[in-house]
Amino acid sequence: MNIQSSLSGKKILVAVTGSIAAVKAPILVSRLIKAGAEVKCVVTPSSTKFILPLSLSTLSRNKCYQDQDQWESYQAKPLHIALAEWADLIIVAPMSATSLSKFSSGSADGLLASILLAAQSQIIVAAAMNTSMWSHQSVKNNWNYMKTIEQVICLEPSEGLLACDRFGEGKMVNLDIIELASESAFCF
């Protein structure tokens, strides 16, 4: 089965958090669009230090949502509920330590955190952070908890040279793996 056949027509929400790996998000969005998916994007405030929402809007052909959009008066339904209900699949790539902490603790602080709590669809999280952060016990506790949530597909970071010039675990997995996880999410 090829990616085109399994993702074609699927509604995928791509969420980008504050990690240097955010620079890979536009490529992921482009690949999902080419596979036939309908894509919308959400960015956290810290992710916009690495990428522009305009890039994601242009590639997805949809508005890229930010925290300030959450409570706009023109919306008939709260945005976090509308996006959570719209999505057949949510991909958080990269998942920073901050966003991991919010999600694992049930925090609804911000648009993305609220979407993740309201979601009924499967959620793929691809962690990416500095090696020391990834190995910190609190992050490990949060990650281990995430792995117990049936709705969540956890993609651990790979080992390699990080943006901070350290070598170790912390790199976001290859986009091919994220695409494969997306494809497999629709097989069950």
To the query of whether residue 154 is one of the catalytic residues in this protein, the response is no
Cα-based angle 31, 127, 188 (whole degrees, multiple of 5) = 60
Rounded to whole angstroms, how far apart are CA atoms 132 and 129?
8
* Token pair belonging to 115: 């979407």
Rounded to whole angstroms, how far apart are CA atoms 34 and 81?
27
φ, ψ dihedrals at 78, nearest 5°: -50, 135
Amino acid residing at 185: A
Catalytic residue, candidates 41, 64, 164, 187 = 164
Active site residue ranges: 164
